[in-house]
Amino acid sequence: HVQLVESGGGLVQPGGSLRLACAVSGNLDSVSYMAWFRQPPGNRREGIASISKEDDDPYYANSVKGRFTISQDNAKRTVYLQMNNLQNRDTAMYFCAAGNPEREWSYSDYETPDSYWGQGTQVTVS
Tell me what pLDDT residue 58 has: 94
The pLDDT profile of the chain, 126 residues, written as one tens digit per residue, is 899 999 999 999 999 999 999 999 998 888 999 999 999 999 999 999 999 988 888 999 999 999 999 999 988 899 999 999 999 999 999 999 999 998 988 989 999 999 999 999 999 999
Please answer whether residues 71 and 79 qualify as being in contact, where contact means their C-beta atoms are separated by less than 8 angstroms: yes
Tell me what pLDDT residue 74 has: 86
Please answer whether residues 83 and 68 qualify as being in contact, where contact means their C-beta atoms are separated by less than 8 angstroms: yes
Instruction: Render 56-113 in DSSP notation, one character per residue.
Output: --EEE-TTTTTTEEEEEETTTTEEEEEE-S--GGG-EEEEEEEE--SSTT-GGGG-ST
Tell me what pLDDT residue 105 has: 87
